[in-house]
A and B are shown apart, each in its own frame.
Chain A
Amino acid sequence: MDRREFLRLTGAASAGAVLPGAISSAFAETTPAEDWKVFEVTTRVEVLKPHGVTRAWVPTPLAWDMPYQKGFGNQFHAEGGTSGIATDWNNGTRMVWAEWPEGVAPVLVHTQHFATRDVAVDLSRPGHAPAENPAVLARYTASSEHVPTTGLVKTMSDDIVKGRKNDIDKAHAIYDWIVENTYRDAKTRGCGTGDINFMLENKAWGGKCADLNALFVAFARSQGIPARDVYGVREAGSKLGYKSLGKTGGDITKAQHCRAEFYSAGHGWIPVDPADVRKVILEEDGGKKPDDPMVLAARKRLFGSWEMNWLAYNTGNDVSLPGAVKGPVPFLMYPQSETGGQRVDSLDADNFKYTISSKELA
């Protein structure tokens, strides 16, 4: 989308408010969970050394509602600049964008309201969830630059699912493989990059959520199972006793986390998170063995359910940023910016400062 079309569709303004999006047509069939909790998350971004035209992009809650999350709208303000909102309905990616001319201090403030509730899919019995749109399933089974599905990915996943008959069993085998053969590497920057080809070619099994869960997605898709990363941020502490799987205190600036879903006819989209099992092993109480009861409980729980102390942003890969000079980003989980035609590193606090705060409203 070029800049002109982008402006036309979004109605550029210096401030705005946008209502929530549509309901997803393929809700997972979920077991009853606790009531909805309402949150307010505010993101403030500032490009510290602007030169020339400066732009910023901030992810919002998923454009569509899910059984575990409902959006209540976004407010945003970019003093001295223009701002708007853009949505890619192909992958639920919605973002606030802002642009400032030279000489203006570029600051964008974005406030989002949404509700979440825990989600769990009962895999012990046949499901009756409505069927997902075939075009959507095709999209999340496709190969892309970020999610390769052939070559080494396919060879390895063939081996991993050998003898498994149905999609759920195959997905479980892949989940088990990730939990047993990868590890969370504390030295990985941010949430990792999710470069699957690099991981496989170099047997680089260490990483964080964007690496380990992307591996789940690539392996699943290579077996013809629709799967997707869901990028987001932890917005509250865990009530299940896992200190490592939550964020307390309201400052969630560094709490980005991505999860994964796969699709199975009858059950709909099924939540998984093998990366968080590895996080429990590395971080909980200073580290735990894989056979520790707490790890085993997390491993069982994170195939089929999510505790929703986490805000889902989007499922986009190779995301184009409207108006950007530079190319797509592999995923949109961190705020992004450009100044003087150069992309600024999202994790470089000397050049790009942002805070993200969360509070529970009800």
Chain B
Amino acid sequence: MPASRRWLAALAIACSATLAAAEPAIKPWGDKPTPPLATTWLDGKPLDLKELRGRVVLVNFWATWCEPCKEELPALLKLKEQLAGRPFELVTVNYGEFPDKINQFLARSGIQLPVLLDTQNEVSKEWKVGGLPMTFLVDAHGRVRYYVFGERAWNEGEPRRLVEKLLAEAPHA
């Protein structure tokens, strides 16, 4: 088995063990406005959440030093794989690290992850990220609908059902 797949397999085991122990509640976002997500991708290209309108977007805040974040990644990648071809986007925001550290982590783990930069924690502050991991589900109209602090198995159970619910509401789903 290649190193990257061994890493993912190990993470998946750790992930399921952790997730079985505690499942933080996914809460409705309510009427609060959707914070801006104006930043750049890891490769320097800019992104604005408006560009993702019409698609359900899962926004996940993480960092390379955050063990629960790393345990959650396999489930996120699996969800992305399961929803290929549907109006869904996985967007991750790295909390406060510089590109060299993120690139090192991605290379070492052998995963491909869509990563937005937040080296100065300005995006995290707008989204009121006070702990990691934190994940937000944004509907096809660009509105945050749900959020959770703590890792969840996004490819199954309640998290997956909530993603499907938002996909069903999306035009041309």
Closest chain A CB from B59 CB (angstroms): 17
* Segment at the B interface, from A227-235, A250-258, A259-267, A345-353: A345-353
Query: For B66, what are the chain A residues with a Cβ–Cβ distance below 8 Å?
Result: 187, 189
Query: For A187, what are the chain B residues with a Cβ–Cβ distance below 8 Å?
Result: 66-68
CA distance in complex: A332, B101 (Å): 25
Are A199 and B97 in contact, with the CB atoms below 8 A?
no
A193 within 8 Å of B by Cβ?
A: yes
A-B contact count (CB 8 A): 36
CA distance in complex: A356, B4 (Å): 38
Are B97 and A198 in contact, with the CB atoms below 8 A?
no
Query: For A197, what are the chain B residues with a Cβ–Cβ distance below 8 Å?
Result: 128, 130
Interface size class of A (residues with CB under 8 A): 10 to 19
A187-B68, A193-B130 known; A348-B97 Cβ under 8 A: yes
A343 within 8 Å of B by Cβ?
A: yes
Are B97 and A343 in contact, with the CB atoms below 8 A?
no
CA distance in complex: A202, B149 (Å): 7
Closest to B128 in A: A198
**4 pairs of A and B residues whose beta carbons are closest in the complex:** A198-B130, A195-B130, A202-B149, A345-B96
Query: For A342, what are the chain B residues with a Cβ–Cβ distance below 8 Å?
Result: 119-120
Which residue, of A189, A342, A351, has the highest number of chain B Cβ atoms within 10 A? A189
Are B101 and A343 in contact, with the CB atoms below 8 A?
no
A239 within 8 Å of B by Cβ?
A: no
Hey, which bits of chain B sit against chain A, CB under 8 A? 65-68, 96-98, 100-101, 119-120, 128-131, 149
CA distance in complex: A187, B65 (Å): 10
Within 8 A of B (CB), among A155-200: 187, 189, 193, 195, 197-199
Q: Which of B96, B98, B101, B130 contacts A204 (CB 8 A)?
A: B130
Closest chain B CB from A247 CB (angstroms): 22
Are A345 and B97 in contact, with the CB atoms below 8 A?
yes
Closest to B96 in A: A345
CA distance in complex: A197, B131 (Å): 11
What are 11 A-B residue pairs whose CB atoms fall within 8 Å in the complex? A189-B66, A193-B130, A195-B130, A195-B131, A198-B128, A198-B130, A198-B131, A204-B149, A342-B120, A345-B96, A350-B101
Are B149 and A343 in contact, with the CB atoms below 8 A?
no
Are B119 and A199 in contact, with the CB atoms below 8 A?
no
Closest to A351 in B: B98
Are B130 and A202 in contact, with the CB atoms below 8 A?
yes
A326 within 8 Å of B by Cβ?
A: yes
Are A189 and B101 in contact, with the CB atoms below 8 A?
no
Are A189 and B130 in contact, with the CB atoms below 8 A?
no
Are A343 and B120 in contact, with the CB atoms below 8 A?
yes
CA distance in complex: A350, B96 (Å): 13
Within 8 A of B (CB), among A318-362: 326, 342-343, 345, 347-348, 350-351
Within 8 A of B (CB), among A60-102: none
Are B119 and A189 in contact, with the CB atoms below 8 A?
no
